[in-house]
Structure 1
Amino acid sequence: MSTLSYAHLSDRSLIRVGGAEAQHFLQNLVTADIDGMAEGGARAGALLTPQGKILFDFLIYRVETGYLLDAPSETAADLLKRLTFYRLRAKVELELLPEDIGVIAVWDDASEAGNALNLGLQAALACVTDPRLPALGMRISGSVADVSAMLDGSPADVAAYDLHRISKGVPEGLKDYDYSDIFPHDADLDQLGGVSFSKGCYVGQEVVSRMQHRGSARKRFVQIESGAMLPEKGADIMAGGKSVGALGSSAGTGDSAVGLALLRLDKVAQAKDNGIPLQCGDAEILVKVPDWASFSLPEPSTAD
């Protein structure tokens, strides 16, 4: 019996970026390195403000007709408008695809996901391993009805996928943070392959490069666990009566909960060293740095 799980991510939309100058256009705008990206390739990426904060985040797929941007539906029209603003006279085609062309996430069973990939190539626009983290599974873009009909597994919903994503420690825009509020390093985008530090200039590049070379990222999204339900996104994470960060998305797992939180790592380390518990609402929480992360809690002596 198949253990594959899949879900139509109805909260995601696709924008097609085509035309003779599509590669050059995106390369000069987004945080990811687009040059050398072959058909079937994928990247995580973002469009930043001039001050280096995340204005939009998305996944980028290289397809036969150009590129697909897999982005939150809530802001897809705004992203399309911003891309149009930057297009000027470039030979670039921009199109928001209809709702029946969407994104299917496939996870849980690697071998079955591989079968889904092979099937998806026959009817999908794009079929890739999630470029942020392979453990997240596959993402298939195409006709929602046709792709779903090909998959032999357990259909799930967006909430089930979000639990899977949270359990892997991967934050997403809007669900974990608001746009124009945080830097790519805060959102772990540098850890998840979404920022190139070797390509040429793009919007906000100078600020992001400075943070990288100075090692000045003090806030990071990390995983949290609790034996009680967690409050809504944005709730303060407290240590000794002082805020050390804010809650992102969370999900219940029986009588407990898991979540993601943007925390000042030095303050968390200091609280841990002093035996001060962390609280979010009425829930006491434990902090875990994701397994894939190259950062860790600093030594308490580095805290301000």
Structure 2
Amino acid sequence: MHSGSAMPAYVDLKTRAVLSVSGPDARKFLQGLVSNDVEKVAPERAIHAAFLTAQGKYLFDFFIAEVAGALLLDCEAERLADFQKRLRLYKLRSKVEIADASGRYAVLAVSGEDAADALGLTGEAGVAKEIDGGAVFVDPRHAGLGARVIVETDKRGAFLAAAGLSEGTLDSYDRVRIRLGVPDGTRDMQIEKTVLLEAGFDELNGVDWQKGCYMGQELTARTKYRGLVKRRLMPVRILDGEMPSPGTPILRDEREVGEIRSGTGDMAIAMLRLNVLEDLEHAVLSAGGVTVLPVKPDWARF
């Protein structure tokens, strides 16, 4: 993945929390609402998916893993209550229970060259297995991000001891994510504005084109088949100065062509108009007075 991180290390993702969706209709219920195929979720497989507005704009994104028969959704902690409320609006007569399980589970990320190995997983995105009190899975978006762990809080210590993981820093994990060009929820995507294909959801295994209807599906499909994506989230390198703060406009010849989103070190995720990439040799992009250089991720097809 990158040098200097061979030893697997874990970080507590304090900004994440867990919502439990269980009951006889749990899969069918989620299947009609989210962008990925919930039928694929099994003890051996986890997925990443999004919940959209009816107009196909981003609302939430999350991971789904199966633990003890329930579907556990690893989502943004500060938006969990809103997510739970919105899901409940669609419950109607479904036999499904939507419960806040954030007090019960911790969410961890494990990164480093051998993260999957250390947890007894093959290195393929989405591969999962059950552990005592939870599940571990290779990040379904990109195997280079390492693995994620959802584990009961009281079993966390035993799990970490058995796996022999040392504690890493959130910053080093963020650097890997940004270098790979993988968006991090609302830090990079705008609620009710971002379209999934602008965020690379298609290439990052977050959309299933074969599944039936879900909320916002029509716009998502139309965007793909008509080639309507005019801007994309992508990594940028900050060349000569301080990291601009999130929301700083990116300019080309005084014209606004994008904006900075999350960043650390000398790399950030930015939303950029795709037409500025066409003749980059002749164009200088800047944000907050520093030069910005777009970097196309190897997985991206734009």
| CA RMSD of superposed structures (Å) | 1.8
Q: Which residue of 2 aligns with 1:163?
A: 175
SS at match of 2:223: helix
Q: Which residue of 2 aligns with 1:133?
A: 142
SS at match of 1:174: helix
1:40–1:127 contact (8 Å) kept in structure 2: no
1:117–1:138 contact (8 Å) kept in structure 2: no
1:117–1:128 contact (8 Å) kept in structure 2: no
1:244–1:268 contact (8 Å) kept in structure 2: no
Query: Does residue 10 of structure 2 align to residue 6 of structure 1?
Result: yes
The one-letter code of the counterpart of 1:268 is L
Query: Does residue 116 of structure 2 align to residue 116 of structure 1?
Result: no
Alpha-carbon separation, structure 1, partners of 2:19 and 2:295? 35
Q: Which residue of 2 aligns with 1:279?
A: 286
Query: Does residue 264 of structure 2 align to residue 251 of structure 1?
Result: yes
TM-score, with structure 2 as normaliser:
0.90
Alpha-carbon separation, structure 1, partners of 2:253 and 2:74? 41
The one-letter code of the counterpart of 2:213 is C
The one-letter code of the counterpart of 2:235 is Q
The one-letter code of the counterpart of 1:220 is R
1:143 shift after superposition: 2.6
Question: Structure 1 stretches of 5 or more lacking a match?
Answer: 296-304
1:124–1:140 contact (8 Å) kept in structure 2: no
Q: 1:103–1:91: structure 2 CA closer, same or farther, 3 Å change rule? A: same
TM-score, with structure 1 as normaliser:
0.89
1:117 shift after superposition: 4.1
1:177 shift after superposition: 2.3
Q: Which residue of 2 aligns with 1:300?
A: none
Question: Structure 2 stretches of 5 or more lacking a match?
Answer: 122-128
Q: Which residue of 1 aligns with 2:124?
A: none
Q: 1:133–1:60: structure 2 CA closer, same or farther, 3 Å change rule? A: same
Q: 1:44–1:2: structure 2 CA closer, same or farther, 3 Å change rule? A: closer
Alpha-carbon separation, structure 1, partners of 2:213 and 2:263? 35
1:23–1:35 contact (8 Å) kept in structure 2: yes
Cα deviation 1:137-163 (Å, max 9, x = unaligned):
011101343333334233023333222
1:2 shift after superposition: 7.3
2:54–2:216 contact (8 Å) kept in structure 1: yes
Q: Which residue of 1 aligns with 2:297?
A: 290
Q: 1:277–1:59: structure 2 CA closer, same or farther, 3 Å change rule? A: same
Which of 225, 239, 243 does residue 230 from structure 1 map onto? 243
1:4–1:108 contact (8 Å) kept in structure 2: yes
Q: How does 1:137-286 map to 2 (within 5 A)?
A: 137-144=146-153, 145-146=156-157, 147-227=159-239, 228-252=241-265, 257-270=266-279, 272=280, 275-286=282-293
Q: Which residue of 2 aligns with 1:47?
A: 51
1:37 shift after superposition: 2.9
Alpha-carbon separation, structure 2, partners of 1:276 and 1:36? 44
SS at match of 1:185: helix
2:58–2:189 contact (8 Å) kept in structure 1: no
SS at match of 1:171: coil
Alpha-carbon separation, structure 1, partners of 2:60 and 2:96? 19
1:54–1:180 contact (8 Å) kept in structure 2: yes
Q: 1:80–1:288: structure 2 CA closer, same or farther, 3 Å change rule? A: same
The one-letter code of the counterpart of 2:169 is D
The one-letter code of the counterpart of 2:249 is D
The one-letter code of the counterpart of 1:137 is G
Q: Which residue of 2 aligns with 1:66?
A: 70
Q: Which residue of 2 aligns with 1:298?
A: none
The one-letter code of the counterpart of 2:221 is S
Q: How does 1:95-110 map to 2 (within 5 A)?
A: 95-99=99-103, 101-110=105-114
Cα deviation 1:165-210 (Å, max 9, x = unaligned):
1121100221112211210011111111111111111111111110
SS at match of 2:144: helix
Q: Which residue of 1 aligns with 2:86?
A: 82
Q: Aligned pair count?
A: 287
